[in-house]
Structure 1
Amino acid sequence: MSVLKVIEVLSGSATSWEDATQKAVSKASKSVKHIRSVYVQDQSATVKDGKVSEFRVNLKITFELE
């Protein structure tokens, strides 16, 4: 039987929510092994001069414990 753990991660990107998600997973995978899934809990954006300047995501990353 596997034991899984969930951590919460925040990430941002000037490009898109998808890019912010990929950046979070790439960064987390450098220190967390056996990532199984990602759940995008929240999405938000910051606005500067009437345009979206940053896309932000709040993720829950699930991984298997050894």
Structure 2
Amino acid sequence: MAVMKVLEIMANSNQSWEEAVKNAVRTAAKSVKNIRSVYVKDQTANVEGDSITDYRVIVKITFEVDA
């Protein structure tokens, strides 16, 4: 039986929500091993004028704890 933990992370990108999610996973992977999944909990964006300037996500990253 595997033991799993969940880490909640906020990340951003000036390109897209997808890139923001990738940034969250890349950042988590620097200190957490055995990442198994990512769940997008929330998405928001900053707008200036008629353009989106920043995409933000809150994600839950699930990883397996070493036995």
Q: Same fold (TM over 0.5)?
A: yes
TM-score range, shorter chain: over 0.9
Are 1:17 and 2:3 an aligned pair?
no
Are 1:56 and 2:56 an aligned pair?
yes
Distance in 2 separating the partners of 1:6 and 1:48: 34
CA root-mean-square deviation: 0.6
Classify the secondary structure of the residue corresponding to 1:15: coil
- The two structures have a TM-score, normalised by structure 1, of 0.96
Q: Which residue number corresponds to residue 41 of structure 1?
A: 41
CA deviations 1:11-37 (Å, max 9, x no partner) are 000000000000110111010000000
Classify the secondary structure of the residue corresponding to 1:31: coil
Are 1:26 and 2:34 an aligned pair?
no
Point out where structure 2 has 5 or more consecutive residues left out of the alignment: none
Distance in 2 separating the partners of 1:35 and 1:49: 38
